[in-house]
Structure 1
Amino acid sequence: MMSAPQAKFTIAIVGGGIGGLALAVALAKTGTTFDVDIYESTASFGEIGAGLGVWPRVWNTLVSLGLEEDLKARSTTMGEDGKMVYYKADQAESINSGKSKQAMQFYHRAEFLKILEKHVPPSYRTHFGKRLVSYEDSSPDPIVLHFKDGTTAQCDMLVGADGIRSAVRRAMFTALAAKAQDDALAATYRQCVDATWSGVVTYRALVQADAFKADYPNHAALSTPICYMGKHAIALSYPISQGQLVNTVALVVTPNARGTTYEGSWVTETDNDEMISYFSHWDPQVYALLKAMKNPSKWAVHELTRLPTFVSGRVALLGDAGHAMTPHLASGAGQAVEDALFLSTLLGQSETTKATIPSALAVYDEIRRPFAQHIQELSFKTGEIAWLDGPRTQSYSAEECAAGRIPESVLQQTISEDMAGVQRWTWTTDPQADLKLAVEKLKAKVEL
C-alpha cells in the first residue's frame, strides 16, 4: 500500500471568504502536498454582500483553477452583449451615455463561494468558530496562533485572508511598529492597522425579479447591467442567480471625506426612505428600481491605505486584508483570486522550503503589492468618473448636473474614453507575465 506523500509544510489560512478559499483551491492545483488548516471565525463559510463581477482577466485565472464548468452553470445571460450601460440619470429623463467596452460575468457571492468550497480538497482541515486574536512568529520555531476562545494552534506559514478588519494585519503592523527604529516609521506602521472611510455610503438589496417584472415588465434592469450616474451619487444594478434576482446598489458620496473616520456602525439595516431621498429628482426608472429594494443594508465603504508591505517573516496578507478597495471597479474579489494564484505558485516551487518561506513571501510582496495597490486607486477613480466628478465633469455643480447642462458629447467621452481607460486592463492584460517574473525572481533569490 502506497503511503501518502509527505506534506511540504503546514499553512494556516485565517479567513474562509473568497480569498481564503481561492488560495486553498489554488494550493491544491500546484501538485504539491501541503498541510492546510482554514480558520473561520463564523460557524460556517459565508459571504457578506450580494453581487460579484468577474472580468475576463480574472475569468481566465478561475478557468485555470478548474472552476469553469461550475461557474458557467451559475452564470446569468444578459441583454444582447452583457455590457454595462451608462445613463446620466439625475434629471427628469435619462441620457444614454454609452456602454462598457467589455462584458462581465455576474454572480451571487454566496453561490460563488459555494463553488470554491466544493473544490477545496477534503484533506484540508476546516475549523469554524475560530477568531484569531494574535500570533507569534519566532523563527525557526513554528508560528503560534492565539484564538479568542483561548485555544492555540501552530503552523509553518500564516496567511491573513481575514478581510478589511484583519486580525492578522493588526498583529503584523502592531509588531512592526513595536520594532521600528524611529517614531516616524512606527507611526506609519500604526496607520496601517485600521481602514479609513472612502467617503462613500452604499445601500444594497436583492430585488426579486419576478415581482419586479410584474410591476415593470419592460424595465431594463431585468436583463441588462446598468449604471445610473448623477452628481455624487450612483444607482447600479445587474441580474444574478440566472436572472432570478437583481442585485441593486445605491451609492451616495460625501465630497472630500476620503481618508476620514466614519462615525457610526459600518453596516446597518435601514428602510429605503432615507436612500430614496437622495434620488427624488432622478429619472422615474431609477425611482422604480430603488423603491423595489426592501429593507436595504447601509454600508459605509472603507478602504486601506497603501500598505508598505504585505508580508512579515513567514506571514502574508491576501485580498482585503492587504488591499481592501472600493467596489467601483468590481475588482476586489478578482484581486484576491490573483493573490491566491501568485502565492500558491510561489509556494509550490521546489525552491520554496520551510526554510525559504520568507524568500517566497518577499517575492510575492514585490510583485503583487504594486499591482494590487494600483487597482485600489483605479477603483476609486472609476467611482469618481461614475458620480460625475471625473476630469471632464468635475467642474459642473450638482445644480447644473440636475438641470442637464453637461453636454451629451462630454458624457459620451466620459464613458467611451475615461471609463474605458480605467477598465481596459481587465480585458487587455493577464497575470502570466508577472507570474513568470515572480518565479524567476524566486529562483534567483534562493540560488544566491
Structure 2
Amino acid sequence: MPATVPGPRIAIVGGGIGGLAAGAFLRRAGFTATVHEQASALTEVGAGLVMAPNAVRLLRRIGVMAQFLRRAVPLDWGWEFRRWTDGSVLSVEKLSGVCERLYGERTYVVHRADLLDSLKAAVPSEWVRLGARCTSVDVRKDVVLLRFADGSKVEADIVIGADGVHSVVRGAVTEPLPPAYSGICAFRTIVPAQAVPDFALRRAQTLWLGPGRHFVHYPVAGGQAVNVVAFAPAGDYTDESWSSTGTIEEFHAEFSDWDPRVTDLITAGGVPGRWALLDRAPLPRWSRDRVTLLGDAAHPMFPFFAQGAAQSIEDAAVLARCLAAHANDPEQGLKQYEAARIERTTRLQELSHARRDSNHLPDGPEQKARDAALAASDPLVRNGWIYGFDAEEALTS
C-alpha cells in the first residue's frame, strides 16, 4: 500500500457499502479521507446481495477477501429459474469452475452486513465519523462547506456523495429528478437455516417467475440463513424506507396460489420488510466542481440484475484511480471518473428496468417464449461485459 502523504481534504458523505469502498480504495491510492455517516453505528439492514466476479476482483485488491470469505457463500450450483405454479425448472446455470475459468473469480451471495464488515476492515476506524447527518452542501470558489444536523461544519477540498437514493449531496451536483412511482414493492426476510427445506440451502440463487411477481432466495451468513426477497404489485403502497415492515398476511396474499415451497418460506420468515420501488431516470451528470456522486446517489437501479452494490465498488475503485492520476487537479479527476463510469452504469440501470417486464409476464405466448429463451441461453457468457469487466484496467485500455 502506498505511503499516506498530505493531500486534499476528502469528505465522503455516507458510510454504507459505497462510502466505505471509497474510503478503502482512496487509502490504497495514498489519500486520507473522512467518512461522515448519519447513523450511530456502521450497520446494514438485513438483506442479501450478489457479488459477481467484477466486484470480487476489486475486493481482493483491497485485501479483504479473508474477511469476506468467512461469511460469503459461493454460488456453486449457480442461477436457477423456476415456474411459479409447480417449481418446474426453466433454466439452470452451474457456476462452479465456470466463473473462475471465464472471469478469474467466483460469484458469491452475502448478507449486506457481512460485506460491510469486510469493507470496514480496509478503512481506519479514525476515518469514520458517526452520528453525522449532512444537511447541506455549499460549493464555494476554493472549498466545499458541509453542514450537519448537530450544527457542526466541515470544509473539504473534495466531496463524495455516497449517501444513497435520497442523497443530500446530489442537490449540489445536478437538479434532482423526482422519482416516479414504479407500481412494484419488495418484501424481504431472512430465514434461519433450520427453518427452511433443504432445497433452499443449496448454493444457488433461485428465481421463481410468475404473473406480475417474482420470488428469489439464496443462502447467506455462511449458510446459516436464507435470504428471501420477492417483488409484487404495490397497489397504493409508496413507503420506500428499508426499515418499513409489512405483515405475513400481506406477503402470503401476493403468493397464495404459488408452489407451497414458496409459501412455506414466507411463513418461516416471520414479519417481512416491505418497501416500494421508486423509478429514477439516469442522471445526465454526476460531478460539479469538486463534488461528485457514487453508487445509489449517482445511479440507483432496480435490483433485477443484482449489480447495485457491485457498481458502487467499481465506482470507488475508478474514483480513487482518477484522483490519483490528477493529484494536482481534482476537478479534472472527477470529470474523468464520471466519463469512465456513466455509460456503463446507465446501461445497467436501463437493463434492470427492462427485466422487470420480462420477469413478470402473464402466462401465455410471451411467457412461453421467455421460458424457451431461458432454457436456451447462457447468461454467464452473454453478460460477459458485466462480469468480465475490470474497472481499473478499463481506465488504461
Contact 1:198 1:326 in 2 (8 A): no
Residue 323 of structure 1 aligns to a residue whose secondary structure is: coil
Residue 155 of structure 2 aligns to a residue whose secondary structure is: strand
Q: After TM superposition, give the deviation of residue 131 of structure 1 in Å.
A: 0.9
Q: 1:337 aligns with which of 301, 313, 317?
A: 313
The reply on whether 1:10 has 2:17 as its aligned counterpart is no
The one-letter code matched in structure 2 to 1:129 is G
Q: Is the alpha carbon distance of 1:165 and 1:370 closer, same or farther for their aligned partners in structure 2, counting shifts above 3 Å?
A: same
Cα distance in structure 2, aligned partners of 1:19 and 1:5:
21
Cα distance in structure 2, aligned partners of 1:406 and 1:232:
11
Number of equivalences: 384
The reply on whether 1:434 has 2:370 as its aligned counterpart is no
Cα distance in structure 1, aligned partners of 2:381 and 2:266:
29
Q: After TM superposition, give the deviation of residue 418 of structure 1 in Å.
A: 8.4
Contact 2:111 2:220 in 1 (8 A): yes
The reply on whether 1:39 has 2:17 as its aligned counterpart is no
Cα distance in structure 2, aligned partners of 1:5 and 1:287:
53
- Aligned ranges for residues 387-406 of structure 1 at < 5 Å? 387-388=360-361, 397-398=362-363, 400=364
Paired position in structure 1 for 2:222: 242
Residue 210 of structure 1 aligns to a residue whose secondary structure is: helix
Q: Is the alpha carbon distance of 1:219 and 1:417 closer, same or farther for their aligned partners in structure 2, counting shifts above 3 Å?
A: closer
Q: After TM superposition, give the deviation of residue 410 of structure 1 in Å.
A: 4.9
Residue 144 of structure 1 aligns to a residue whose secondary structure is: strand
Cα distance in structure 1, aligned partners of 2:186 and 2:340:
32
Q: 2:299 aligns with which of 323, 326, 347?
A: 323
- Aligned ranges for residues 222-237 of structure 1 at < 5 Å? 222-237=202-217
The one-letter code matched in structure 2 to 1:96 is V
Contact 1:269 1:297 in 2 (8 A): yes
Q: 2:278 aligns with which of 302, 307, 314?
A: 302
What's the % identity of the aligned pairs?
A: 29
Residue 311 of structure 1 aligns to a residue whose secondary structure is: coil
The one-letter code matched in structure 2 to 1:54 is M
Paired position in structure 2 for 1:180: none
Q: Note the alpha carbon deviations across 1:99-127, whole angstroms, 9 max, x for none.
A: 236463011111110111111035x5221
Cα distance in structure 1, aligned partners of 2:176 and 2:367:
43
Q: 2:119 aligns with which of 116, 121, 125?
A: 116
Contact 1:202 1:298 in 2 (8 A): yes
Cα RMSD of the aligned pairs, angstroms, is 2.4
Paired position in structure 1 for 2:103: none
Paired position in structure 2 for 1:148: 149
Paired position in structure 1 for 2:20: 21
The one-letter code matched in structure 1 to 2:207 is C
Residue 377 of structure 2 aligns to a residue whose secondary structure is: helix
Q: Is the alpha carbon distance of 1:60 and 1:265 closer, same or farther for their aligned partners in structure 2, counting shifts above 3 Å?
A: closer
The one-letter code matched in structure 1 to 2:87 is S
Q: After TM superposition, give the deviation of residue 190 of structure 1 in Å.
A: 4.5
The one-letter code matched in structure 2 to 1:204 is R
Cα distance in structure 1, aligned partners of 2:4 and 2:340:
31
Q: After TM superposition, give the deviation of residue 432 of structure 1 in Å.
A: 4.0
Cα distance in structure 1, aligned partners of 2:169 and 2:283:
14
- Aligned ranges for residues 155-234 of structure 1 at < 5 Å? 155-173=156-174, 189-191=175-177, 194-212=178-196, 216=197, 218-234=198-214
Q: Note the alpha carbon deviations across 1:181-220, whole angstroms, 9 max, x for none.
A: xxxxxxxx342xx4333332110000011133xxx3x434
Q: After TM superposition, give the deviation of residue 278 of structure 1 in Å.
A: 1.5
Cα distance in structure 2, aligned partners of 1:133 and 1:19:
19
- Aligned ranges for residues 45-124 of structure 1 at < 5 Å? 45-77=42-74, 81-89=76-84, 91=85, 93-100=86-93, 102=95, 104-122=107-125, 124=126
Cα distance in structure 2, aligned partners of 1:225 and 1:5:
41
In the superposition, the TM-score normalised over structure 2's length comes to 0.89
Cα distance in structure 1, aligned partners of 2:55 and 2:376:
22
Paired position in structure 2 for 1:352: 327
Cα distance in structure 1, aligned partners of 2:281 and 2:289:
21
Extract unaligned runs of 5+ from structure 1: 174-188, 389-396, 438-448
Residue 49 of structure 2 aligns to a residue whose secondary structure is: strand
Q: After TM superposition, give the deviation of residue 36 of structure 1 in Å.
A: 1.3
Contact 1:135 1:146 in 2 (8 A): yes
Q: Rg: which structure is higher?
A: 1
Contact 1:100 1:416 in 2 (8 A): no
Q: Comparing 112-121 with 421-430, which one deviates more in the overlay?
A: 421-430
Cα distance in structure 2, aligned partners of 1:358 and 1:232:
45
